[in-house]
Structure 1
């Protein structure tokens, strides 16, 4: 008894099966997120690194670059969940790149941040002043 081989790949004659995204009736491509308007830096902020959601090493590179370009002082500012990232950045810079660096000042505060609905939220903030 002969047995014929069936092709294991799809042919053009087979119907297209929609992906789970295409199966949704309300599926539409995402709109690009609105970018917040760029705020100009305040005077005195030239040597300040604002810690956000990027990887830690991106901020480490920024701090090391600031120190090598001339200033003897760099400030690191962070709010909320980014505070632990700011501490990590400081320790990595000190332990791996600039062993003579020290924290000459720090300021812990609570800031009121406006929400989209017009209310305000209180958020912890930390400013570390680093000197070499």
Structure 2
């Protein structure tokens, strides 16, 4: 799997359906798309992946899920561990 920014959706503060639409548009031309999120947006990434799978059933599946922690420096200069998730959705092999 390539990790080009073209096949990666970064979850932020936009409405949920914005990310669902972006993911479906990317999947129309790419074999797989990775949804990435960290911190409070991890639950949004999970919601996006599940909505995409339900809307595109049975053409796509979750091919990989990676959960980890990233160490970031906060605005007050302290190190903080932040949860991160990567969900890869790929075309099913028939």
What interval of TM-score do these two structures reach, taking the shorter chain for normalisation? 0.7 to 0.9
Pairwise CA distance, 1:115: 1.1
Question: Where do 5+ consecutive residues of structure 2 fail to align?
Answer: none
Aligned length: 88
Q: Distance in 2 between matches of 1:56 and 1:119?
A: 31
Greater share of residues in strand:
2
Tell whether 2:33 aligns with 1:54. Answer: no
Of 50, 56, 81, the residue aligned with 1:122 is 81
What TM-score does the superposition give when structure 2 sets the normalisation length? 0.87
Corresponding position of 2:45: 86
Pairwise CA distance, 1:72: 0.5
CA RMSD, Structure 1 to Structure 2 (Å):
1.2
Counterpart mapping for 1:5-24 below 5 A: none
Q: Distance in 1 between matches of 2:51 and 2:90?
A: 15
What TM-score does the superposition give when structure 1 sets the normalisation length? 0.63
Corresponding position of 2:33: 74
Runs of 4+ with >6 A deviation: none
Corresponding position of 1:9: none
Greater share of residues in helix:
2
Pairwise CA distance, 1:110: 0.4
Corresponding position of 1:105: 64
Question: Where do 5+ consecutive residues of structure 1 fail to align?
Answer: 1-42
